Amino acid sequence: MKYFLDTANLQDIRYYCDVFPIAGVTSNPSIVKKEGKIDFFAHMKEIRSIIGIDRPLHIQVTAPDTEGMLGDADTLLTKIDPEVYVKVPVTMEGIKAIKQMKSRGIHVTGTAIYGKQQGFLAMEAGADYIAPYFNRMENMGLDSDDVIASLADMIDLYHYDTQILAASFKNAGQIDRAFLAGAHTATIEPAILKDVLTQPYITNAVDTFDSDWKSVFAEKTISEL
């Protein structure tokens, strides 16, 4: 079970990587848009500098066709670093690109997954990660838990090296369900992670502990006794 940050914000990445056990960072064109008109390659290299080479950095292609996707992949690997995980939408053009990228030893994440067969095809094409969109599937009336569980079952049954990188969450409960269904990793917006540990009932419990301690030992902490 691993946690990735789903953001390209440098300040958030620095802060949340320091606070949480973050295992990687993901981005896509919509996430990059939130950062405004940036120097894209310099920005991504700075993310790599923050997280280090041992934590995966996932960056999505923008070309719509196979040849363009392959060109995007080459550019990402050349201008950022060769360890980048190239995110490829699992479409007709994308599945072809995934096959070719894997034949060249490129790290690949199959993304924009909304169903079982889409995920199965990405596994068979060799994708290192597959990214089912949890909340978006729910909005379509699909059973997100069942989709992820089926993907996990197929990985175990046929011994695929693929990992499930669940994405598209709106609350912590969805993350719970994704992990329990069999997702190996979840990529999460920083605000959702923060919300997990800042609920009022948590704050109230901590405040009560603090008040009870101070009623006996005043302002001294354990190390000051």
The whole-number average pLDDT for the span 68-85 is 99
Per residue in 85-94, is it b (16+ CB within 10 Å) or e — as a string?
Answer: bbbbbbbebb
3-class secondary structure, 141: coil
Structural contact between residues 87 and 131, judged by C-beta atoms closer than 8 angstroms: yes
Q: Is 193 helix (H, G, I), strand (E, B) or coil?
A: helix
β-partners of residue 87 are 60, 109
pLDDT digits (tens, 9 = 90+) for 85-138: 999 999 999 999 999 999 999 999 999 999 999 999 999 999 999 999 999 999
pLDDT of res. 93:
99
C-beta separation of 34 from 10 below 8 A: no
pLDDT in tens, 157-186: 999 999 999 999 999 999 999 999 999 999
In DSSP terms, 6 is beta-bridged to 26
Contact 48, 14 (CB under 8 A): no
Range 68-93 average pLDDT:
99
CA–CA distance, 87 with 57 (Å, rounded to integer): 10
What is the share, in percent, of the chain residues with pLDDT greater than 70? 100
Domains, the chain, ordered by start: 2-198 (3.20.20.70)
- In percent, how much of the chain has pLDDT > 90? 100
Q: Can you give the pTM of this predicted structure?
A: 0.96
Contact 91, 97 (CB under 8 A): no
pLDDT in tens, 190-220: 999 999 999 999 999 999 999 999 999 999 9
| Residues with a known catalytic role | 87
- The token duo for 32 is 């990059």
Tokens of 106: 């490129």
- 80 Cβ neighbours under 8 A, 6+ residues apart: 41, 44, 45, 48, 57, 59
